[in-house]
């Protein structure tokens, strides 16, 4: 029941009052809350909305674009995190929520998590596949280096390359290797060498440092620039135990900048040794071939074919004469057999010759069209017929037919 001391407020006034109470509590300012992210959603505005929960409870949370842009990794559902922020009320909905200012992975560093996320993403796209790696040139005439012009790394690379292969020209593209300017300058250096193709191989790198110091070499845009570079790229970032995204996407990874220079250019002294060894080996092979040829020549020079050619020729002529005789006899024997066969066939054909039959007093009867008459039944009284005899033919007319009984 409403009393005289009771005060009536609107819903908005009530929510604003509760918001004021919460905002006035120092404990709820920059409070750290541990939990698991769920229902994560990022809008085109850049704002992130999600729920932070543990085994028994949950709280709604929001991170606005200004804070979200400074994150080193992308939050995901199921990720355990520690959030620093303020607890307040959103008056319109009457719900209190956590306004996140920073998010850190629980139990693992944010930079390391961002590194693993980008590594997995690019690996899935195939940017690390060996099939896309370009081979390094064996004898480069120009080597491009993208690094700080004042660091120890560039001095090491210059010293190593100059000692190993003095004929190679080194082209330095100066770039910051850490800080806000590092990424765009490193990308610019890679793109310059890729577009101009003024060098045969490119080294990108720097000396050692912490993960934060090397972070520019874990940038996604830089990794894609290296992958698209039309000149082979050697990545040499930090020490042997340091790995960056550039190491995975580059055509070759060197454990140190000095090792990158060793990969980029051959060793002149080793080349001289190899050339000398090849020269000695080929000279020995040539001398061995000459010795073998000389022995073969000596054998040929002492052979009977050269010392007594007339005797060999006469032997060959005698063998040829005998072969010709044998061939003549074989041909004669074969011809005699074939002539006998031919006479036998001719006799058989002669017995079947119709002219031979006519010469014995027989005749062949045909009608006026030349058709053979085989039966009296085929003739008509008064029909003209032709009678073929051995020395000519006669024309006759049928005046009577007689049929013999069988």
Query: What is the tens place of the pLDDT at every residue in 202-256?
Result: 999 998 888 788 889 999 999 999 999 999 999 999 887 778 999 999 999 999 9
> Of 97-101, 135-139, 286-290, where does mean pLDDT reach its minimum?
286-290
CA 327/CA 199 separation, integer angstroms: 78
Phi, psi of 5 (to 5 degrees): -80, -15
| CA neighbor of 221 nearest in space, from 177, 186, 254 | 186
The pLDDT of residue 257 is 92
Claim: this prediction has a pTM higher than 0.85? no
The pLDDT of residue 221 is 95
Residue 385 contacts residue 367 (beta carbons within 8 Å): yes
Q: Where are the beta strands (DSSP E) in 191-285?
A: 201-206, 233-237, 252-253
Confidence of residue 107 (pLDDT cuts 50, 70, 90): low
Spatial CB neighbours of 246, under 8 Å, sequence gap ≥ 6: 204, 205, 217, 218, 222, 223, 226, 235, 237
Give whole-number Cα distances, 119 to 122, 176, 218, 226, 348, in Å.
Answer: 5, 23, 9, 14, 100
Phi, psi of 351 (to 5 degrees): -65, -25
| CA neighbor of 252 nearest in space, from 267, 241, 263 | 263
**Tokens at 196, concatenated:** 């101009």
Beta strand pairing status for 58-63 and 95-105?
parallel
CA 100/CA 30 separation, integer angstroms: 9
Residue 100 sits at the vertex; the CA angle it makes with 99 and 103, to the nearest 5 degrees, is: 165
Phi, psi of 92 (to 5 degrees): -60, -40
Confidence of residue 394 (pLDDT cuts 50, 70, 90): confident
Angle between the N-to-C axes of helices 220-228 and 110-125, in degrees from 0 to 180, rounded to the nearest 10: 30
Residue 169, classed as helix, strand or coil, is strand
372 forms beta bridges with: 366
Q: Is residue 406 pLDDT above 70, yes or no?
A: no
Across 138-163, average pLDDT? 93
Q: Is residue 391 pLDDT above 90, yes or no?
A: no
CA 164/CA 266 separation, integer angstroms: 6
Confidence of residue 361 (pLDDT cuts 50, 70, 90): low
**What does the mean pLDDT of the chain come to?**
86
CA 227/CA 190 separation, integer angstroms: 10
CA 327/CA 77 separation, integer angstroms: 101
CA 175/CA 217 separation, integer angstroms: 12
Domains of the chain from N-terminus onward: 11-107 (2.40.50.140), 115-266 (3.40.50.2300), 357-397 (no CATH)
Beta-carbon neighbour count of residue 10 at 10 Å? 8
Share of the chain above pLDDT 70, in %: 93
Helical H segments across 126-242, by residue range: 152-164, 182-196, 220-228
CA 201/CA 391 separation, integer angstroms: 108
The pLDDT of residue 55 is 85
The pLDDT of residue 4 is 56
Across 258-280, average pLDDT? 85
Fill in the DSSP letter of residue 211. T
Beta-carbon neighbour count of residue 377 at 10 Å? 9
The pLDDT of residue 6 is 66
Across 344-357, average pLDDT? 71
The pLDDT of residue 115 is 84
Beta-carbon neighbour count of residue 276 at 10 Å? 10
Residue 52 contacts residue 98 (beta carbons within 8 Å): yes
Sole residue written with tokens 């596949």:
129
């Amino acid at each position: 029941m409403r009393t005289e001391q009771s005060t009536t407020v609107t819903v908005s006034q009530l929510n604003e009052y509760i918001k004021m109470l919460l905002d006035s509590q120092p404990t709820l300012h920059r409070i750290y809350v541990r939990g698991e992210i769920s229902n994560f959603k990022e809008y085109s505005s850049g704002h992130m909305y999600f729920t932070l929960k543990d085994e028994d409870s949950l709280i709604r949370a929001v991170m606005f674009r200004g804070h979200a842009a400074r994150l080193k990794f992308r939050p995901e559902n199921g990720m355990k995190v520690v959030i620093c922020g303020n607890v307040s009320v959103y008056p319109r909905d009457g719900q209190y929520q956590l306004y996140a200012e920073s998010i850190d992975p629980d139990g693992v560093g944010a930079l390391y998590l961002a590194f693993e996320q980008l590594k997995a993403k690019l690996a899935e796209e195939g940017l690390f596949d060996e099939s896309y790696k370009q081979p390094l040139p064996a004898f480069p005439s120009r080597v491009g280096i993208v690094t700080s012009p004042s660091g120890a790394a560039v001095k090491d690379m210059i010293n190593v390359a100059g000692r190993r292969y003095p004929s190679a020209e080194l082209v330095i593209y100066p770039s910051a290797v850490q800080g806000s300017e590092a990424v765009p300058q490193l990308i610019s250096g890679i793109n310059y060498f890729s577009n101009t193709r003024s060098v045969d191989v490119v080294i990108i790198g720097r000396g050692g440092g912490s993960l934060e110091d090397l972070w520019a070499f874990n940038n996604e845009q830089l990794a894609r620039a290296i992958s698209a570079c039309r000149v082979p790229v050697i990545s040499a970032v930090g020490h042997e135990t340091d790995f960056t995204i550039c190491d995975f996407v580059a055509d070759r990874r060197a454990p140190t900048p000095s090792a990158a220079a060793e990969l980029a250019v051959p060793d002149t002294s080793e080349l001289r040794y190899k050339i000398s060894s090849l020269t000695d080996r080929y000279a020995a092979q040539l001398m061995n071939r000459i010795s073998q040829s000389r022995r073969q020549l000596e054998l040929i020079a002492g052979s009977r074919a050269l010392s007594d050619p007339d005797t060999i020729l006469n032997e060959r002529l005698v063998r040829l004469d005998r072969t010709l005789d044998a061939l003549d006899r074989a041909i004669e024997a074969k011809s005699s057999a074939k002539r006998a066969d031919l006479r036998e066939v001719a006799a058989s054909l002669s017995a079947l010759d119709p002219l031979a039959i006519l010469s014995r007093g027989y005749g062949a009867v045909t009608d006026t069209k030349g058709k053979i008459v085989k039966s009296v039944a085929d003739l008509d009284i008064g029909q003209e017929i032709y009678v073929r005899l051995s020395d000519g033919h006669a024309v006759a007319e049928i005046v009577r037919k007689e049929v013999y009984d069988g």
